[in-house]
């Protein structure tokens, strides 16, 4: 039986698969986005362009649409639109959605930190400042290195690890000169300064339904200068460490008021135990959903949709896992220069599922400074008893990726060769 109701899809983040799998469930798709590509416009039932930063206008439009078409759920995986989606769901009186308060608690890194500290969930030293000069006082009470970052941006944009007073001042100064985040929303006035947490980094992919959180997977993360370099599912952890990470994440989600979503929580395993870095009230980016799907059978995007349409965990859609380990590796430029890579050689390695490059051999690139200007990625699945990490190692060697200032394509000497991060 075809469902005559509709789903409001806000600020679509991934490719058209989101639209397609919603339609496969029999729902009409109302797509609201600031700009809608032609491909999306053809597939969505009701594509509507409007400025998503004008929240009151968007909510009014959603209410207007609901008078003509019954809306069952609001769905978004876009970090910047989590609060908007929650507000629309509240305005429509929908039963299964993240509250706008919880959305704000997660979206604002300053509010996340304040809420976790208030509930004594993995508290760390932090301070909020509004000007670079305040760094002087902060660093009189907080040891270097520190992390300086905007409170409501994403993608590691303007996030800096600072080893000196000068670096912290410069990082705060950069943020203070910006008035908008990556999508044009006003930046919060407060700049977040946090103690730097030593230890390996992980993300926990989970879902919360009616107050109960289910851990789907723990992802091991590699970073380079705080830019995400790669992810591995599942993380190779002891039972004790896995349990302690899961416990602190569940406590954090409870403290923040998270419910009826799939979440992506970043954690560092410090010598003092797991510490929450960020809580994202949506499916993790960087193709993590593909790694999790391959290893566990759960498609996190479909799981998130299952939840907002009233589904319970016991009946969540699940496919047969295809591998016991999956890894993604990103290509980062550690300096400006010319790219050297052999995409076909990497693709020829058994177990490599995809090689995606935004550049070609010989292209000139600038240094990678955030997740937004990485140069591509490779995805590996464990196969025939070989772990995904071994597959990826072979692909990296085959690709022979590096950045050089030598435009004629000669392999540089060891003194001027930059292997770019892969």
Give me the residues paired with residue 366 across strands: none
Nearest to 72 by CA among 108, 32, 22: 22
Q: How far apart are CA 356 and CA 208, in angstroms?
A: 32
pLDDT number for residue 143: 94
> Would residue 150 count as lying in a domain?
yes
* Helices 82-92, 55-66: inter-axial angle, 10-degree rounding: 40
pLDDT number for residue 16: 65
Q: Look at residue 194 and give its three-state secondary structure.
A: strand
Q: Is the pLDDT of residue 153 over 80?
A: no
pLDDT number for residue 2: 45
pLDDT number for residue 223: 82
pLDDT tens digits along 158-170: 888 999 999 999 9
Maximum Cα–Cα distance across the chain: 68
State the total domains in the chain: 4
Q: What is the CATH number of the domain that holds 47?
A: 3.40.50.20
Q: Look at residue 216 and give its three-state secondary structure.
A: strand
Same domain, residue pair 146 and 206: no
pLDDT number for residue 372: 81
Q: Is 344 exposed, middle or buried (0-12, 13-18, 19+ CB in 10 A)?
A: exposed
Q: What is the CATH number of the domain that holds 147?
A: 3.30.1490.20
Give me the residues paired with residue 219 across strands: 203
Q: Is the pLDDT of residue 413 over 60?
A: no
Same domain, residue pair 210 and 284: yes
Residue pair 332/420 in contact by the 8 Å Cβ criterion: yes
Could you tell me the pTM of the whole model? 0.91
Nearest to 379 by CA among 305, 418, 322: 322
pLDDT tens digits along 109-142: 999 999 999 999 999 999 999 999 999 999 999 9
Same domain, residue pair 167 and 218: no
Quote the percentage of the chain above a pLDDT of 90.
Answer: 82
pLDDT number for residue 111: 95
Q: Is the pLDDT of residue 3 over 90?
A: no
Quote the percentage of the chain above a pLDDT of 70.
Answer: 94
> Checking DSSP bridges between strand 402-404 and strand 337-340, what pairing results, if any?
antiparallel
> Would residue 25 count as lying in a domain?
yes
Same domain, residue pair 229 and 295: yes
Q: What is the CATH number of the domain that holds 376?
A: 3.90.1170
Q: Is the pLDDT of residue 298 over 70?
A: yes
> Checking DSSP bridges between strand 71-75 and strand 6-10, what pairing results, if any?
parallel
What residues make up the domain containing 175? 125-195
Same domain, residue pair 282 and 360: no
Helix (H) or strand (E) holding 161: strand 160-162
Q: What is the CATH number of the domain that holds 214?
A: 3.30.470.20
> Would residue 117 count as lying in a domain?
no
> Would residue 184 count as lying in a domain?
yes
| Final residue before a domain boundary, out of 195, 225, 243 | 195
| Final residue before a domain boundary, out of 295, 315, 335 | 315
Phi, psi of 8 (to 5 degrees): -90, 110
Could you identify the residue written with the tokens 């970043």? 266
> Would residue 46 count as lying in a domain?
yes
> Would residue 99 count as lying in a domain?
no
Residue pair 339/398 in contact by the 8 Å Cβ criterion: no
Q: How much is the mean pLDDT over the chain? A: 92
pLDDT number for residue 419: 47
Could you identify the residue written with the tokens 């349990």? 243
pLDDT tens digits along 81-118: 999 999 999 999 999 999 999 999 999 999 999 999 99
Nearest to 300 by CA among 247, 330, 261, 352: 261
Q: How far apart are CA 110 and CA 130, in angstroms?
A: 12
Residue pair 396/311 in contact by the 8 Å Cβ criterion: no
pLDDT tens digits along 313-330: 999 999 999 999 999 999
pLDDT number for residue 49: 96
Same domain, residue pair 227 and 162: no
| Final residue before a domain boundary, out of 144, 173, 195 | 195
Q: Look at residue 330 and give its three-state secondary structure.
A: strand
Q: How far apart are CA 151 and CA 110, in angstroms?
A: 6
pLDDT tens digits along 284-294: 999 999 999 99
Peptide bond into 145 cis (omega under 30): yes
> Would residue 115 count as lying in a domain?
no
> Would residue 116 count as lying in a domain?
no
Same domain, residue pair 51 and 146: no
Same domain, residue pair 188 and 203: no
């Amino acid at each position: 039986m075809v469902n005559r109701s509709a789903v409001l899809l806000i600020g679509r983040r991934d490719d058209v698969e989101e639209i397609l799998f919603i339609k496969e469930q029999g729902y009409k798709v109302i797509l609201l986005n600031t700009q809608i590509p032609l491909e999306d416009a053809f597939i969505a039932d009701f594509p509507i362009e409007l400025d998503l930063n004008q929240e009151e206008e968007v909510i009014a439009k959603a209410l207007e649409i609901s008078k003509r078409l019954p809306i069952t759920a609001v769905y978004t995986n876009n970090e910047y639109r989590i609060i908007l989606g929650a507000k629309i769901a509240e305005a429509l009186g929908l039963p299964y959605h993240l509250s706008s308060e919880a959305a704000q608690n997660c979206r604002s890194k300053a509010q996340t930190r304040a809420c976790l500290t208030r509930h004594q969930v993995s508290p760390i030293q932090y301070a909020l400042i509004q000007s670079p000069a305040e760094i002087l006082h902060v660093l009189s009470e907080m040891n270097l290195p520190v992390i300086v970052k905007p409170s409501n941006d994403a993608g590691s944009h303007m996030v800096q690890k600072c080893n000196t007073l000068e670096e912290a001042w410069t990082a705060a100064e950069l943020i203070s000169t910006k008035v908008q985040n990556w999508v044009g929303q006003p930046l919060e006035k407060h700049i977040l300064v946090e103690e730097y947490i030593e230890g390996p980094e992980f993300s926990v992919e989970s879902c919360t339904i009616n107050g109960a959180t289910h851990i789907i997977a723990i992802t091991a993360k590699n970073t380079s200068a705080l830019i995400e370099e790669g992810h591995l599912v599942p993380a190779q952890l002891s039972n004790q460490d896995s349990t302690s990470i899961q416990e602190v994440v569940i406590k954090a989600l409870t403290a923040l008021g998270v419910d009826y979503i799939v979440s992506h929580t970043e954690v560092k395993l410090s010598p003092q135990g797991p510490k929450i870095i960020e809580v994202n009230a949506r499916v993790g980016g960087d193709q993590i959903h593909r790694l999790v799907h391959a290893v566990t059978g759960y498609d996190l995007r479909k799981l998130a949709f299952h939840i907002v349409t009233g589904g319970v965990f016991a009946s969540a859609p699940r496919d047969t896992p295809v591998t016991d380990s999956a890894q993604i590796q990103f290509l980062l430029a550690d300096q400006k220069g010319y790219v050297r890579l052999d995409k076909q050689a990497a693709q020829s390695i058994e177990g490599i599922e995809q090689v995606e490059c935004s550049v070609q051999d010989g292209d000139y690139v600038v240094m990678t400074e955030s997740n937004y200007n990485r140069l591509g990625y490779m995805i590996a699945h464990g196969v025939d008893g070989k772990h995904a990490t071994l597959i990826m190692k072979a692909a990296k060697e085959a690709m022979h990726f590096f950045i050089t200032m030598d435009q004629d394509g000669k392999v540089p000497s060891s003194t001027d060769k930059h292997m770019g991060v892969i």
